[in-house]
Structure 1
Amino acid sequence: MLERYGHGGDLRTAEETFGFPARQFIDFSSNMNPYGPPDGVRRVLVHYAEQIDRYPDPAVRGLRSKLARLHRVDEQSIMIGNGAAELIDLVVRALKPPVTALAYPCFTEYGDAVMKSGGKIEPIMLSSDNSFELTESMAEQSKAKFYMIGSPNNPTGQLVDPALIMKLVYNGATVVVDEAFMDFIPEEEKLTLIREAANHERLFVIRSMTKFYAIPGIRLGYMVGAPQQIAAMRRLQVPWSVNSLAQQIGEAVLEEKDYALRTMNWLQEEKPWLIQKLEGLGLRVIPGNVNYLLVQLPGVPGLTAATLQYEMGRMGLLIRDASHFIGLDESYCRFAVKLRHQNEWLLEALGRCLSKFREAGRA
């Protein structure tokens, strides 16, 4: 099982399982920008050795200032973290909700954070019948006063209506919105709740900088909330949790406007093409909004997400077995959208695997 530690992108486990060096795998199991880090990252790395003997800025002022200008919010409403994962854990530890509503399937670290804090989970089970969309009637079934919501959601890729989220807040709930993949949405400016979060004590937005800019090894994310709430959480944060290299890279990538435009143009062209090809192979594709696709395998004897993952891994391609997400069964996989030649390799390998299982079923 490649998801031994709960995530995709575990190349060490892939090496141990399939016997190839990490560089030989094409990794569709983690949802990174396939263009790799922008040039600004390399420029930072070239000069970083001269500064490694200095402490990082404990307040991360440079990056916070740039993000404040980008989102047009008060700098005091922004908190930088060691990846979005640190901030998910921190917001739950700080607010200590006795009961948290989670809409399944969702990112597993939401539930992990709740359980570690001693809280309870009230599940909202999304349905494949409406492509796992969180509707108002579903959300309002919960009696919880604390929600953690992914928008776009992982692994479904579905957006949640901002008006629905704000209605929960106005009705007295505290809502944490994980917008880790919002950068990939062309209508980001209309859909993000960052500015609302900066002015409301019961709304928090968490963003990742690692997916869009392909820097997962650095660990960098940020949270936006009302200044007094952010100040209280900052007092609970481990000192210097964001190292100086991450801070400098964060500032550099925000200047990469051409890279961002190139990424958006690629995704708008490549994703519809890949969806069409996957459907042509007999897979059901959930109509998400981001740079990954949740797919349901056809009903072929012996074909499951786990068996397909193993067969694909033997060919050097890694996919995500999505059955490990609560609310999904063994027929669901998740694929990242990559560059055309990589997606063609994925499709060729999928076709070979599906033919193999279909022929075995007829034998």
Structure 2
Amino acid sequence: MSAHGPGTSGDAPAAADALRHHGDAEVRGDGAGLTDLAVNVRTGTPPAWLRERLAASLATLAAYPDGGPARAAVAARHGLPADRVLLTAGAAEAFVLLARALPARRPVVVHPQFTEPEAALRDAGHRVERVLLRPEDGFRLAADAVPAEADLVVVGNPTNPTSVLHPAAVLAQLAREGRTLVVDEAFMDAVPEERDSLVPLLARLPGRTVVLRSLTKTWGLAGLRIGYVLSDRSTVAALARQQPLWPVSTPALVAAQACTGPEALAEAQAAALGFAADRDRLRKRLAPLAAAGVREATPAPQGPFLLVRHPRAAALRDRLRELGFAVRRGDTFPGLGPEWFRVAVRDPATTDRFAAALERALETLDAAGAR
């Protein structure tokens, strides 16, 4: 099966270092001084009020962490009992727990998406099958693309890196008896009103459904590591048994409690609306560059990032680095190749500077090609 589908591919070879390549690699080392469009964490975060809460928590570090209040706060935020919530050291930990705790004879990962779920499944000894979504379909998922025999299915929503938001009704069709459906909603709080989240349907879907959330993107807590799992009681208990004692630090628990209160949710909604406006500006600045080969991947992107295609994307990324901008390479995502890169949505001033740099990079590519 080619990388551009349709349908599934078997245990396609994928180097571990490719699956474990993430956007932060673009800004480490010689990339430390670049404008960061490779990492999808909201700029200007954590906000001052959250930094103050975290700083105050340092006075309590002599005591062992108590996850009860944070777990209750997350549960109340989603209208669920506390025993249907598991706090984790970022959403990435949850993928490891799932791979170790849940049986799977035929696990399937829908790509392109965040690569950590597949990496965790492989590390746990699973043979992973891929469903590769196609650029000509706008990377949209049809439920019948997933094999009926798949007993564990992982899909992102909205999907990193494609910025596709799959309708909840489509994802609900993937739920069935005998199957675990895992939906990675790490970027759902960047979608206004959290449209098409599967959380409201959790209690009504057949089989086992697991929704993962992250607090690191909107709140700027990638270095703190805090996320959570929402599922049924038995699944939460099975995952918890795979965790060590006190798996989440006291500051991370404070963050979970703080970021799920009413004021924080209102701020997250305002940020989501800001992402939408800033994304529209970025799309408008990219549109005139279509004649130079720059194409968006998704007709209606909904995440705080865009997937972009150019036939010489690797060289273009190098030119952008020379001009002070880091973007995320696309070829480490299964189903994509070297002609793709991902751009984080930023404020209008940064977008305008990036667009000007991209135009300049394209001009130098053309000039080099003419020689």
- Same fold? TM cut 0.5: yes
Q: What TM-score results when the alignment is normalised by the length of structure 2? A: 0.88
Alignment of 1:231-242 (within 5 A): 231-242=237-248
Amino acid at match of 1:285: E
**In the alignment, structure 1 residue 53 sits paired with structure 2 residue 62:** yes
Listed one character per residue, the Cα deviations across residues 65-106 of structure 1 (whole Å, up to 9, x for unaligned) are 111111111111000000000001101210031221112212
Aligned residue among 162, 171, 174 for 1:168: 174
Deviations 1:175-224 (A, max 9, x none): 11111111111241x52122433566511100111011121111110001
**Correspondence 1:196 to 2:180:** no
1: CA distance, partners of 2:72 / 2:177: 32
Say whether 1:350 aligns with 2:365.
no
Moved more, 321-330 or 40-49: 40-49
Aligned: 1:221 with 2:232: no
User: Which consecutive segments of 4 or more residues in structure 1 shift more than 4 A?
Assistant: 2-5, 198-201
Equivalent residue number for residue 156 of structure 2: 150
- CA positional deviation for 1:160: 2.2
Separation in structure 1 between the aligned mates of residue 83 and residue 203 of structure 2, nearest angstrom: 9
- Write out per-residue CA displacement over residues 83-140 of structure 1, whole angstroms, 9 at most, x where no aligned residue: 000001101210031221112212111110111111111211111111111112312x
Q: 1:82 aligns with which of 89, 96, 112?
A: 89
Distance 2:346 2:42 in 1: 8
Partner of 2:189: 183
Matches of 2:305 and 2:216, distance apart in 1: 15
Decide whether the 8 Å contact of 2:110 with 2:155 is kept in 1.
yes
Pair 198,115 (structure 1): closer, same or farther in 2 beyond 3 Å: same
1:277 maps to which residue? 285
Contact 1:294 1:334 (8 Å CA) reproduced: yes
- 1:309 and 2:320 aligned: no
Provide the residue aligned with 1:92 in structure 2.
99
For 2:346 and 2:18, how far apart are their aligned partners in 1? 20
Structure 2: how far apart are the matches of 1:262 and 1:185? Answer: 10
| Residue correspondence of structure 1 range 22-33 to structure 2 within 5 A | 22=32, 24-33=33-42
SS class of match (2:173): helix
Partners of 1:321 and 1:234 lie apart in 2 by: 34
Is 1:101 the counterpart of 2:108? The answer is yes
Answer yes or no: is 1:294 the counterpart of 2:300. Answer: no
Moved more, 179-188 or 46-55: 46-55
273-282 or 319-328: bigger deviation: 273-282
Q: Which residue of 2 aligns with 1:68?
A: 75
Q: Which runs of 5+ in 2 are unaligned?
A: 1-16
TM-score, scaled relative to structure 1: 0.90
Residue in 2 that maps onto 1:120: 127
Deviation at 1:48, TM superposition (A): 2.9
Structure 1 stretches lacking a partner, 5+ long: none
CA distance in 2, matches of 1:143, 1:233: 23
Structure 2 distance, partners of 1:169, 1:15, is: 40
Work out the CA distance in 1 between the residues paired with 2:272 and 2:179.
34
Which residue in 1 is equivalent to 2:273? Answer: 265
User: Which moves more between the two structures, 216-225 or 89-98?
Assistant: 89-98
Q: In the superposition, relative to structure 1, how do residues 225 and 5 fare at CA in structure 2: closer, same or farther (>3 Å)?
A: closer
Moved more, 261-270 or 202-211: 261-270
Alpha-carbon distance between aligned partners in 2 of 1:87 and 1:65, rounded to the nearest angstrom? 19
Determine helix, strand or coil for the equivalent of 1:328. coil
**2:346 is the alignment partner of 1:338:** yes
RMSD (Å) for aligned C-alpha atoms:
2.0
The Cα shift of 1:338 comes to: 0.6
**How many residues matched?**
347
Which of these residues, 204, 208, 211, is aligned with residue 214 of structure 2?
208
Equivalent residue letter for 2:316:
L
Corresponding letter in the other structure for 1:334: R
Match of 2:337 in 1: 329
Contact 2:20 2:116 in 1 (8 A): no
Cα deviations across residues 14-60 of structure 1 (Å, max 9, x unaligned)? 45335xxx3x3211111111232122221123323322222111xx1
Q: How many Å apart are 1:315 and its aligned residue? A: 2.7
After superposing the two structures, state which structure 1 stretch, 169-178 or 253-262, moved more: 253-262
d(CA) in 2 for partners of 1:4, 1:113: 10
How far apart, in 2, do the equivalents of 1:230 and 1:40 lie? 31
Q: Is the partner of 2:60 in helix, strand or coil?
A: coil
Deviation at 1:261, TM superposition (A): 3.6
Residue 5 of structure 1: CA displacement? 4.9
Structure 2: distance between partners of 1:240 and 1:198? 28
* TM superposition shift of 1:171: 5.3
Alpha-carbon separation, structure 2, partners of 1:187 and 1:259: 12
How far apart, CA to CA, are the structure 2 residues paired with 1:63 and 1:356? 52
Structure 1 counterpart SS, 2:343: strand
